[in-house]
Homo-oligomer: A and B are copies of this chain.
Amino acid sequence: MAAPAYDVVGIGNAIVDVLARTEEALVQRQGLVKGTMALIDAARAETIYAAMPAGVEKSGGSVANTVAGVASLGGRGAFIGKVRDDELGAVFAHDLKSLGVRFDTKPATSGPPTARCLILVTPDAQRTMGTFLGACVDLGPEDIDESLVASAAVTYLEGYLFDPPRAMEAFRAAAAAAHRAGRKVALSLSDPFCVDRHRAEFRDLVDRHVDVLFANEHEICSLYETEHFEIAAEAVRGHCDIAVLTRSERGSDIVTQADLLHVAPWRVARVVDTTGAGDLYAAGFLYGLTHGRDLATCGKLGSLCAAEIIAHVGARPGTSLEHLAAGEGLI
């Protein structure tokens, strides 16, 4: 087996975030549930946007954020996802490529515009998201570059991609190609409601194709239909090699066949915006995993990267994670 050319190839929704600080009342008036992601159509996106204060536009997308984090740590990343050939699509591509991430999925030349995620950041630093999937719905198995997948140590799949109609096929093609090449497949459950919408498919994918699973406590509880984290953490054991379960200020638990390893959260002076916390935890963890670190160090790297992202607005690193992690003696 050849040495991998990439550490992580991510497959996910290609989204530009529109972030604004708002009061709680707006979240409720727009019928959104705080802390979660709702899929919205073009008309609802217009309505919510019109009600939002002025904000900033910044590249996002859950797994794209993770790949950006891996690159910021000094890792080698690639991304597969669908933009339209429009202005926000150009912004999305620029922001990945400027980090050295390979991104050459063909943009759609017709159909809906590049996806955007309207993110309402409330005074408690929670983020509530309305996603208009736009061009992401066009991602299909024809976009999976199997030689690229085969050249990456880990193929990382975004749970949110269960929503666009043809992405499941793309997932299966990618997972098969990765395993044929002797590589690992990782998955993020992304969102408890997303898990609700596609529970059977998620369980099947975890059982048959996933080596490393990322989930927060709400997501893993949703997957196994329990209200108790401990039950869910026990239920996932054995369905994949490693389940990484993040619990915000309670830190994270790493579940393997034989062990359960607790990782303390990294201290943050002031939490400003939790957008991207899970994405960047995954970045640190996957960087560690693909660089031969033990699971405890992988977890610490994840916690450090999550701490960096929640200390500012937006879900892409505001500084070099490589310098940050080196300063902490983690890489």
- Residues of A with Cβ closer than 8 Å to B? 18, 49-50, 52-59, 68, 86-88, 91, 94-96, 98-99, 113-114, 314, 316
B-chain residues with CB within 8 Å of residue A87 when the two chains form the complex: 86-88, 113-114
Task: Give CA–CA (A53, B91) in the complex, Å.
Answer: 11
Contacts of A18 in B (CB 8 A): 91
Bound Cα distance from A87 to B132, whole angstroms: 14
- Contact status B94-A49, CB under 8 Å: yes
Q: Is the CB of B54 within 8 A of A95?
A: yes
Chain multiplicity (copies):
2
For the residues of A in contact with B, the DSSP-based class is mixed
Choice from B53, B86, B99, B113 contacting A54 with Cβ under 8 Å: B99
A98: contacting residue among B52, B98, B316, CB under 8 A: B52
Please state if B57 and A91 are interface contacts (CB–CB under 8 Å).
Answer: yes
Say whether B54 contacts A57, CB under 8 Å.
Answer: no
Q: Which residue of B lies closest to A114 (CB)?
A: B87
Sample 11 A-B pairs with CB under 8 A, ordered by A number. Answer: A18-B91, A49-B94, A53-B99, A54-B316, A55-B95, A56-B58, A56-B314, A57-B57, A86-B86, A86-B87, A87-B114
With A56-B58, A57-B58, A113-B87: A50-B94 Cβ-Cβ less than 8 Å: yes
Residues on B with C-beta less than 8 A from A99 are 53-54
Q: Which residues of chain B are near A58, meaning CB under 8 Å?
A: 56-57
Smallest beta-carbon distance A94→chain B, Å: 6
Closest to A94 in B: B49
Chain B residues with Cβ under 8 A from A316's Cβ? 54
Tell me the smallest distance from the CB of A139 to a CB of chain B, in Å: 20
Nearest-neighbour CB distance to chain B for A257, whole angstroms, equals 39
Sample of 16 further A-B pairs with CB below 8 A, known A55-B95, A86-B86, A87-B87: A18-B91, A50-B94, A52-B94, A53-B98, A53-B99, A54-B59, A54-B99, A54-B316, A56-B56, A56-B314, A57-B57, A57-B58, A57-B91, A86-B87, A87-B88, A87-B114
- Cα A51 to Cα B58 in complex, Å, equals 17
